[in-house]
Amino acid sequence: MLGPLYRAYERKLKREVLGRPIPRHIAIILDGNRRHAEKHGLRIPSKTYSLGADELDDVLEWCVELAVPA
């Protein structure tokens, strides 16, 4: 169920972003993984950082799709 909802939300966001000028760069500060993990009962640091890395992969893919320059 979450998959189709998430994809619909992603399409909506993409339409909104494409209606505006594409940024020349995006700064990303990776913070909060430890707090998020602790909140959800994760105690192994490598698993915690893997979750953050997975999310970063998604963000970077969106940047590529939107042609944000590196």
pLDDT number for residue 12:
92
Average pLDDT score over the chain: 84
* 1: Cα separation from own chain's centroid: 20
Please give the Cα distance from 15 to 61 (Å, whole number).
Answer: 16
- 37: DSSP letter: H
Q: Is the pLDDT of residue 53 over 80?
A: yes
Quickly state the pLDDT bin for 2 (edges 50, 70, 90): low
31 and 49 Cβ atoms separated by less than 8 Å? no
**What distance, in Å, lies between the first and last C-alpha atoms of the chain?**
34
10-39 confidence digits (pLDDT tens)? 889 888 988 899 889 889 888 777 777 788
pTM for the whole structure: 0.64
* % of residues, the chain, pLDDT over 70: 96
Q: Cα angle at 62 between 61 and 68, to 5 degrees?
A: 100
